[in-house]
C-alpha cells in the first residue's frame, strides 16, 4: 500500500498552508485525517466545507451522530469511529447512544434507530433506497429535507472513510481512548 504523509505546517504543500492553519484553529490541533488529506489541499478544504454544511443541517446533534456512526461502521472506518466517539462525547451525546452506535445499532429511541437504518440503506444501496425505505424514514418523523441531509452526510463520510482506508490513518492520541475495530460492530 502507498505510504501517505500525515502533513504538518512544516510539510504541507504551499497551497495547503492556509487550510491547515484554519484546521489547527478549528480543532486546536491537526487531526491525522486532515493532515493526510492535506496532501491534496483542495480535498482537505472540501472536507472542512462539507463539515460546516453538515453542522448547519436541520438534524439534531444525536441524529447527525447516528448517521455518521452508521456510515462509519458500514465502511468499517476505525479512524472515524474513534474520532466521532470522542466528538460525540464532547458534544454530550448520551452514552447509550454512543455505545449503541459503536455496537452497530439497537437504539432505544425509535427515531434514532430509523436514522441508523436509513443511513445504512443509503450507503448499502448507493443511494437507491426503495420507496418503502424512504417512507419508513419519513414515517419515523423525518422530512424530505432530512433525506437529502443524509445524502450529504454519506458524501462527507465517504470522503473521509475511503481516504482513511487508503492512507491507513493512525488514530490521534486525542481519539485513542475511543479506539474501535469493525469486529466490535458484528459482535
User: Which of the four pLDDT bands, split at 50, 70 and 90, describes residue 186?
Assistant: very low
Q: What predicted TM-score, i.e. pTM, was given to this entire model?
A: 0.93
User: CA geometry: angle at 152 spanning 146 and 157, to 5°?
Assistant: 125
**pLDDT surpassing 80 at residue 58:** yes
Q: What is the SS3 assignment for 123-150? A: HHCCCCCCHHHHHHHHHCCCCHHHHHHH
User: CA geometry: angle at 117 spanning 111 and 119, to 5°?
Assistant: 100
**pLDDT surpassing 90 at residue 4:** yes
pLDDT in tens, 13-53: 999 999 999 999 999 999 999 999 999 999 999 999 999 99
Write down the pLDDT at residue 2. Answer: 77
Average pLDDT over residues 90-98: 96
pLDDT in tens, 118-158: 999 999 999 999 999 999 999 999 999 999 999 999 999 99
Alpha-carbon distance of 140 to 117, in angstroms, equals 11
Alpha-carbon distance of 186 to 176, in angstroms, equals 21
Q: Is 180 left (phi over 0), alpha (psi -120 to 50) or beta?
A: beta
Amino acid at each position: 500500500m502507498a505510504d501517505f504523509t500525515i502533513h504538518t505546517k512544516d510539510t504541507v504543500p504551499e497551497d495547503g498552508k492556509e487550510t491547515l492553519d484554519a484546521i489547527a484553529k478549528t480543532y486546536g490541533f491537526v487531526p491525522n485525517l486532515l493532515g493526510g488529506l492535506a496532501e491534496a489541499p483542495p480535498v482537505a478544504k472540501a472536507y472542512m466545507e462539507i463539515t460546516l454544511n453538515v453542522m448547519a443541517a436541520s438534524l439534531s446533534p444525536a441524529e447527525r451522530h447516528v448517521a455518521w456512526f452508521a456510515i462509519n461502521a458500514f465502511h468499517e472506518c476505525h479512524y472515524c469511529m474513534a474520532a466521532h466517539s470522542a466528538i460525540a462525547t464532547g458534544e454530550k451525546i448520551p452514552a447509550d447512544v454512543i455505545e449503541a452506535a459503536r455496537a452497530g445499532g439497537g437504539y432505544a429511541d425509535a427515531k434514532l434507530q430509523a436514522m441508523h437504518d436509513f443511513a445504512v440503506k443509503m450507503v448499502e444501496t448507493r443511494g437507491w433506497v426503495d420507496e418503502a425505505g424512504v417512507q419508513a424514514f419519513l414515517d419515523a418523523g423525518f422530512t424530505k429535507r432530512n433525506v437529502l441531509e443524509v445524502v450529504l452526510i454519506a458524501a462527507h463520510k465517504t470522503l473521509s472513510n475511503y481516504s482513511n482506508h487508503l492512507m491507513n490513518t493512525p488514530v490521534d492520541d486525542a481519539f485513542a481512548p475511543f479506539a474501535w475495530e469493525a469486529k466490535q460492530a458484528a459482535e
